[in-house]
Chains A and B, each alone.
Chain A
Amino acid sequence: MLYNVHFGITVDAAMPVEDKSKSLLPFLSSPKLLPDESEAEFQQGLQSLLSELDNPSALAVALVSQLNECLWWIRRHTVDKELLLHEAMARLLSREGSNWMGSGNSALSVALEHYLNGSADKDEVALIEEALIDANLTLADLRARSFKDAARHIKMVDDLIHRQHQTIRHLQRSIDSIDYKSRLIKRMDLELAALESKQSVKGALTLDDKSS
């Protein structure tokens, strides 16, 4: 019987668990990525996490996929922290300068972004340097003041990153518990098999005694 699982993957119910985990892989690991993000990189991270598990079950794969997504979110939020600082720098330059409001913040933000990345063209460099002179600031001053200005939002992003860390901890505990459970079940199966074989040997011996 075929099931159409969440996110559009089809899983065969009669499939062994190992194969199901592979089938589940796209269902829980096909991520919603941003346009500039690489899916290959995302999948590579997931594979490296899965490779650390010995024969993971379908549920373990599902949980590891969520864990990988959390790591991805941490990356996004870390980039956001720097972007917040850039935004605040552009805002500050715009506020401190005499005629910058008229030209709009966006042009200045883009120029500043390129300037900080080292990919600014001549006009952008001139625009930023002129803005810095106009505002009577150095780049270091601007950065320090912007940090103070953006502190509230940077704190929010720190909270978001902290939340992802906490989520990872929860997921790790869950994966450990599944792993422990599966090992316990295996051990109990072995003990049961040993008991059954002992029982059958005993039964055979009793029958032998009676017949003799």
Chain B
Amino acid sequence: MTTNPRRSLANQSNALKSTGPRSAVGKRASSQNSRKHGLNSAPYFESLSEYRALVDLIAEEGFSAFACADIASGLLNYRRVMDAYYDTYTSFEPVDEFLRDVTVKASNPIFSELLSPSGSEPQDVRDMAAFFASMQRQERRKGGPVSRRSADTHKLIRYQRNAIARLSRTVRQG
């Protein structure tokens, strides 16, 4: 689907007037908007069939029952982190080429055209142009696709560090 730049600008200007969701369902849905990977939630592996199978396999290697449980959940937890790592790496925020490449001055007539029928003052147009320019600066600062995926994946380093430390500790102490 191709994005009409004028439609896109109209959507962005209308979005500025929004005060957020009103219904309980809408609020619940929007509460998940910034959820990226879900790695901060506590995992419950014990109910998974994979967990039981892993515990049984590890038990045959002479580990105690407690160690088996720890190693199995450590391994599944590490896999959970690495799956999120892969998902983050492959599904980064797309580059908004229109926003990045267009010049704000050239966009001003578009703003005027959009806002004049609704009786907006030139100050509104200036404010919107300033807002648009700041969005553009943010967009450019994020860089291209590789910069974005590197920055996003970088945020998961601590989860990987904790998961592997836990797994390694349980295996060596087991």
Query: Mask for B104-122, Cβ within 8 A of A = 1, else 0?
Result: 0000000000000000000
B49 → chain A closest CB, angstroms: 6
> In the complex, A156 Cα to B92 Cα: how many Å?
15
Q: Is B58 an interface residue (CB 8 A)?
A: yes
Cβ-defined contact, A69 with B151, below 8 A: no
> In the complex, A34 Cα to B101 Cα: how many Å?
28
Q: Which residues of B contact A34 (CB under 8 A)?
A: 90
Interface residue tally for chain A (C-beta within 8 Å): 53
Cβ-defined contact, B172 with A167, below 8 A: no
A174: contacting residue among B85, B146, B172, CB under 8 A:
B172
Q: Is A46 an interface residue (CB 8 A)?
A: no
Query: Mask for A58-70, Cβ within 8 A of B = 1, else 0?
Result: 1100110010010
Q: A59-B57, A104-B101, A177-B172 are in contact. Are A166 and B86 (CB under 8 A)?
A: no
Q: A157-B150, A171-B168 are in contact. Are A3 and B49 (CB under 8 A)?
A: yes
Q: Which residues of A contact B147 (CB under 8 A)?
A: 84, 87, 150, 153
> In the complex, A156 Cα to B147 Cα: how many Å?
9
> In the complex, A90 Cα to B95 Cα: how many Å?
15
Q: Which residues of B contact A32 (CB under 8 A)?
A: 83, 86
Q: A80-B146, A84-B147, A171-B164 are in contact. Are A163 and B78 (CB under 8 A)?
A: no
> In the complex, A75 Cα to B90 Cα: how many Å?
15
Q: Is A178 an interface residue (CB 8 A)?
A: yes
Of the candidates A5, A58, A101, the one having the most CB atoms from chain B within 10 angstroms of its own CB is: A5
Q: Is B50 an interface residue (CB 8 A)?
A: yes
By beta carbon, the residue of chain B nearest A16 is B60
What DSSP secondary structure best describes chain A's contact surface? helix
Q: Is A105 an interface residue (CB 8 A)?
A: yes
Cβ-defined contact, B157 with A17, below 8 A: no
Cβ-defined contact, A87 with B153, below 8 A: no
Q: Which residues of B contact A173 (CB under 8 A)?
A: 168, 172
Cβ-defined contact, A182 with B61, below 8 A: yes
Q: Which residues of A contact B83 (CB under 8 A)?
A: 32
Cβ-defined contact, A156 with B154, below 8 A: yes
Q: Is A38 an interface residue (CB 8 A)?
A: no
B173 → chain A closest CB, angstroms: 9
Within 8 A of B (CB), among A166-184: 166-167, 170-171, 173-174, 177-178, 181-182
By beta carbon, the residue of chain A nearest B49 is A4
> In the complex, A24 Cα to B56 Cα: how many Å?
13
> In the complex, A83 Cα to B159 Cα: how many Å?
25
By beta carbon, the residue of chain A nearest B147 is A153
Q: Is A159 an interface residue (CB 8 A)?
A: yes
> In the complex, A30 Cα to B8 Cα: how many Å?
41
B2 → chain A closest CB, angstroms: 14
> In the complex, A129 Cα to B154 Cα: how many Å?
35
* A contact residues vs B (CB 8 Å cutoff): 3-6, 11, 13, 17, 20, 24, 28, 32, 34, 57-59, 62-63, 66, 69, 73, 76-77, 80, 83-84, 87-88, 90-91, 101-102, 104-106, 109, 150, 153, 156-157, 159-160, 163, 166-167, 170-171, 173-174, 177-178, 181-182, 185
* B contact residues vs A (CB 8 Å cutoff): 48-50, 52-54, 56-58, 60-62, 71, 75-76, 78-79, 82-83, 85-86, 89-90, 97, 100-101, 103, 143-147, 149-151, 153-154, 157, 160-161, 164-165, 167-168, 171-172, 174
Interface contacts beyond A32-B83, A66-B78, A167-B164: sample of 7 additional A-B pairs, CB < 8 Å, sorted by A: A3-B49, A4-B53, A5-B49, A59-B171, A87-B146, A102-B101, A156-B150
